[in-house]
A and B are shown apart, each in its own frame.
Chain A
Amino acid sequence: MSDRLEPVLAGVAAKVASLGLSVAGTALPVRRQKAPIRRQKLDPPAMITVCKSPAPDETSRRRFGLWQTTYAVAVTVAAPYNGADGPTAEYSAIRDAIVDALKAPPLPGAPAVFDLDAQPADWMRPTGETTEYDWLSVEVRATVAHN
């Protein structure tokens, strides 16, 4: 039984963790999760989650006998809300750092990934005004060739 997604998720998490990102002087731990969940009494106030994106994967024929699947992975930052007019430079820097690190292969631990792309996704959605969280997301698309 083949599992192509797990190495992709692990590779993305390892690469994001190696960036050593922080918010307001606090290092952001990187969590592998099923979805971007932050539990009030179990998780740190600020963190990064790496999980399968709800966006559908795409499987197509690459050539005779060979297929390729593009997996969508969500890298999400959740941090305490810093106000409607609070600083955003850290968040924009984090966003670009994640995109730059994941816009091209290789992906550590996932040698089958031959194409990698990262695009900024949700920016401060949901808003801190309603949730007291600052929130941003980057969508990574990793393509694997397989039989």
Chain B
Amino acid sequence: MVTLDMLSVYDSMRLRHQSPITVTLTRPRSYVGGAPASVQVAYVQEQAVTQEDVDSPLGGSLDGSRKIFSLWLVECPALPPANDYEITKADGTVWVIKKTETLARGRRFRCHCLARVGTAG
């Protein structure tokens, strides 16, 4: 009898992405966690950019770009993503995680990001 390990099945799903990328995940300096930390994360799936107003202060507007990255815990077990962590792509653009969804029994993270002003067009 073959026993199916569901967590392994979840983990193997990252290998099915059509065009995965490798990014650098950075935890900024924190008051409770100490120094900044960075890890390379492979098999990341990225969604196309959505450009939109991120706020409308004083009757004006501030433009920004949003993007969703999917990261797998098996690729970054020492530093799972969380809000306010940064994802840096190979082209140097920096994306800051504003919302983190945990999926697949904690094996996958869907990170909703906003581009750092001046780094992404």
Contacts and interface: CB of A to CB of B under 8 A. Distances in A.
Interface of A: 33, 35-41, 45-46, 49, 51, 53-54, 74, 76, 78-81, 83, 85, 122, 125-126, 129-133, 135, 137
B92 interface: no
Given A35-B60, A40-B121, A83 B28 contact: yes
B58 A137 contact: yes
Contact of A35 (B61, B98, B116): B61
Interface residues of B, number: 24
B5 interface: no
Interface string B49-85: 0010011011111111100000000000000000010
A135 to B, nearest CB: 7
A54 B59 contact: yes
A80 B84 CA distance: 15
A82 to B, nearest CB: 10
B114 interface: yes
A81 B59 CA distance: 20
A38 B58 contact: no
Given A80-B117, A126-B62, 17 more contacts: A35-B61, A37-B61, A38-B60, A41-B121, A45-B118, A74-B58, A76-B57, A76-B60, A79-B117, A80-B116, A83-B28, A130-B54, A131-B54, A132-B96, A132-B114, A133-B62, A135-B62
Contact of A132 (B58, B61, B116): B116
A23 B54 CA distance: 22
Contacts of B62: 37-38, 78, 126, 131, 133, 135
B57 to A, nearest CB: 5
B60 A133 contact: no
